[in-house]
Amino acid sequence: MPRDAGRTRETIVKAASRLFYGAGIRAVSVDAVAEKAGVTKKTLYYHFRSKDDLVAAYLASRDQPNLELFAKWFAEADGTLADRIGAIFENIAAGAANRRWKGCGFLRTAAELVETPGHPAVKRAAAHKKRLEAWLTEVIAVEKPHDAPLLARHVVLLLDGAFSTMLVHHDVSYIRSAGEAAEQLLRSSAE
């Protein structure tokens, strides 16, 4: 029975996602991804022209789910705008407490590819961070329309700074401290 091409591609991306997130993109070979996906290397290359395309697909598969998760945490939180933004940081802290947490896949991939800024995965990572900032601008603008773009950028900087620091120290208190800073920033800004 022939395989469904869409399902095969999805299987490959899921396998790549687990491996790339777990060990990093440079540490994982195309052979390892093919084996994990249960496909031949030829099948993998039928769906992806190169490892670079596969890495970009890995990040693309994480983009919308990550943004939806942030939006869910924000929507489910009670309280002020500052409290709801703070809930995002607190939810990240809960996830980061799990020993399988390896940080932000977008930042880690961009760091691995720092010498190749035109790489399709680096472009995906940059686009994801811009979409996150745009979403934060929208939700902040409901209450703080004049300051929303700058406040959103500051929140992104706090998030990404905490992601990086947590990787260095393996300590979730950094994301909680960043969340407190974001809340204070939002509470102190003009309305």
pLDDT in tens, 101-146: 999 999 999 999 999 989 999 999 999 999 999 999 999 999 999 9
Fold category of 59-188 in CATH: Tetracycline Repressor; domain 2 (1.10.357)
Q: Count the neighbouring beta carbons within 10 Å of the beta carbon of residue 1.
A: 3
Instruction: Quote the CA–CA distance of 40 and 46 in Å, as a whole number.
Output: 10
Question: Is residue 33 over pLDDT 50?
Answer: yes
pLDDT in tens, 143-171: 999 999 999 999 999 999 999 999 999 99
Rounded to the nearest 5°, which phi and psi values hold at 151? Answer: -60, -40
Looking at residue 86, its pLDDT comes to: 98
Tokens 């939810």 map to which residue?
91
pLDDT in tens, 62-100: 999 999 999 999 999 999 999 999 999 999 999 999 988
Q: Decide: 82 and 37 in contact? Cβ < 8 Å.
A: no
Q: How confident is the model at residue 189 (pLDDT cuts 50, 70, 90)?
A: confident
Greatest C-alpha distance within the chain: 63
Average pLDDT over the chain reads 94
| Sequence-separated (6 or more) residues with CB below 8 Å from residue 134 | 152
Q: What is the DSSP letter of 94?
A: H
CB pairs under 8 A, 24+ apart, for 162-170?
162/89, 162/92, 163/103, 163/104, 163/107, 164/103, 164/107, 166/96, 166/103, 167/102, 167/103, 167/108
- The CATH architecture that domain 1-48 belongs to is Orthogonal Bundle (1.10)
Ranges of each domain in the chain: 1-48, 59-188
| Sequence-separated (6 or more) residues with CB below 8 Å from residue 65 | none
Question: Is residue 187 over pLDDT 80?
Answer: yes
Looking at residue 37, its pLDDT comes to: 97
Rounded to the nearest 5°, which phi and psi values hold at 62? Answer: -95, -20
Task: Judge whether 1-48 and 59-188 match in fold.
Answer: no
Residue-wise over 53-75: b if at least 16 C-beta within 10 A, else e? ebbbbbbebbbeebeeebeebbe
Tokens 């190169």 map to which residue?
50
